Amino acid sequence: MSKRDRKRAEIVGKLATHFLEAGLGDTGVRRLAEVADTSDRMLLYYFDTKDEILAAVLGEIGGGFTDVLDAVFGTEPLRPADAVTRIWAMVRDEATAGQLRLWLDLSSRASRGDPFFGAIVEQMAEGWIVWLSGMLDEPDAEKRPLAELIMSAIDGQVVLFPTDLTKGDAAVAKLQDLLRDL
């Protein structure tokens, strides 16, 4: 790995930690440079544009989240109700709180019509749907619609009750019951 690549990786790591702790808040180049302990000129030496910086950082965070998913779920296929149980537990776990807050922040920016964040959110959501589809122990024709249903139901609870996810427990339990009856 070249010195430039090492420095880029260092910057991405610092910004990823910052985004997970503080959210997207101020993503101006000067603020990003400050967080990365560099100047805005040097930041733009290592990355051509602010969008490239953000894409690299969000990609790093997404890769880390994939590792979390693999650790929580393993490789064995799951019944949809069991997948909901594990996803809901993961969403409520403080260890993934930073990723959850960042997802809400990204989704909010995308919903306001920001094309950059819209593309990022769509890409991330598609990745999770494909991943979950592959985990479900259901006929192929049912996997994607069930994955979309599960993800939208979980996301819905997160949006409705962002400060107290326990308020979503009853709805998630109902979804599990409905999925068990398939």
Question: CA 16, 19, 22, 28 torsion: positive or negative?
Answer: positive
- With a cut of 90, say whether residue 50 has pLDDT above it: yes
Domains of the chain plus CATH, in order, are: 1-60 (1.10.10), 76-182 (no CATH)
Q: What is the mean pLDDT of the chain?
A: 92
pLDDT digits (tens, 9 = 90+) for 66-79: 778 888 888 899 99
pLDDT > 90 fraction of the chain, expressed in percent and rounded: 72
Mean per-residue pLDDT, 88-92:
93
Which residue is associated with the tokens 């308020």?
Answer: 167
C-alpha separations of 147 from 19, 77, 153, 156, 179 in Å: 27, 13, 10, 14, 11
Q: According to the model, what pLDDT value does residue 25 have?
A: 86
- With a cut of 90, say whether residue 135 has pLDDT above it: yes
**Predicted model pTM:** 0.85
Q: Cα–Cα distance between 101 and 85 in angstroms, integer?
A: 20
pLDDT digits (tens, 9 = 90+) for 156-170: 999 999 999 999 999
What tokens were used for 69?
Answer: 């998913």
Q: What is the DSSP letter of 135?
A: H
